[in-house]
């Protein structure tokens, strides 16, 4: 039976299957990296510390994905940016005056007490977003003005640093993001028909799965929060909100770096007008 002939529960099952397959494909880097994280013993391999082995594995995965055309050079550039953004945050969070978490093991490739592989954990989120964007043929409807989205993304990133000094404003930023994206929806194609969901729901769901992955990482002792130094415990659920905000920031970067203006409905002045035409006359 051809896809277009499917209907009812059969179509639902088939589309759900393809949705899962494409998500698994988008998680290729994430999956391989976390398999390595769980498989590599804490003592390392062949005298090479675990953190250094993880860095080598992450680099090899990226090299393989680019060479095999599973990842484009533009996507690699975006992932490198996420790596730098993530490493800067890590260096601040593990610094002596903050100590939000720590990397307890030795590694030759640790800089400022942060193993270089750590940036790939943020890059993994970016890798999923850029891969899913292509595989699902994502289109964004009613995207807010870019300067507003960029401002919120910058404030979200800044709050990860400043909340140690002037208070945590994550819930105010979450409210701003909700107001900004409440009309925004993501159109995706799991099989042969377009489906649609609120973009904010996507942010929250991705944030939840990143929180689950963080529990895996801390369980295996790759890094630890202060309350996990004696014995492992579940990562506090508040981190779910932090990761959801980080996903919003990641999405904003991807939306600009992938130059998707021809597929995004951006409002003109007043924010409630029709399609804005780009230089080619296409909807932008």
pLDDT in tens, 220-236: 888 888 888 778 888 88
Structure confidence at residue 72 (pLDDT): 84
pLDDT in tens, 231-251: 888 888 888 999 999 999 999
Residue 281's pLDDT band (cuts 50, 70, 90): very low
Structure confidence at residue 265 (pLDDT): 55
pLDDT in tens, 11-52: 888 899 999 999 999 999 989 998 998 899 989 999 999 999
pLDDT in tens, 149-158: 999 999 999 9
Structure confidence at residue 88 (pLDDT): 93
283, pLDDT greater than 50: no
Structure confidence at residue 278 (pLDDT): 40
120, pLDDT greater than 70: yes
Return the CA Rg of the chain: 20
């Amino acid at each position: 039976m051809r896809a277009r002939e499917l209907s009812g529960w059969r179509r639902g099952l088939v589309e759900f299957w393809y949705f899962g397959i494409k998500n698994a494909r988008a998680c290729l880097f994430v999956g391989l990296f976390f398999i390595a994280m769980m498989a590599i013993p804490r003592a390392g391999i062949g005298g090479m510390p675990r953190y250094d082995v993880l860095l080598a594995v992450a680099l090899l995965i990226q090299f393989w994905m680019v060479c095999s055309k599973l990842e484009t050079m533009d996507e690699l550039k975006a992932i490198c940016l996420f790596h730098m953004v993530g490493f800067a945050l890590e260096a601040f969070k593990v610094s002596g005056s903050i100590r939000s978490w720590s990397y307890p093991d030795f590694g030759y490739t640790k800089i400022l007490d942060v193993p270089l592989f750590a940036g790939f954990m943020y890059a993994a989120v970016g890798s999923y977003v850029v891969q899913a964007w292509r595989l699902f043929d994502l289109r964004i409807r009613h995207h807010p003005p870019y300067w507003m989205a960029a401002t919120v993304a910058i404030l979200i990133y800044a709050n990860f640093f400043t909340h140690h000094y002037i208070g945590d404003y994550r819930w105010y930023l979450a409210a701003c993001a909700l107001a900004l994206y409440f009309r925004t929806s993501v159109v995706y194609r799991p099989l042969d028909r377009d489906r649609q969901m609120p973009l904010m729901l996507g942010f929250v769901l991705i944030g939840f799965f990143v929180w689950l992955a963080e529990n895996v990482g801390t369980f295996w002792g790759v890094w630890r929060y202060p309350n996990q130094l004696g014995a492992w415990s579940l990562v506090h659920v508040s981190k779910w909100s932090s990761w959801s905000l980080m996903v919003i920031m990641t999405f904003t970067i991807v939306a600009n770096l992938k130059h998707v203006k021809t597929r995004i409905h951006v409002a003109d002045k007043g924010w409630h007008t029709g399609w804005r035409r780009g230089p080619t006359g296409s909807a932008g």
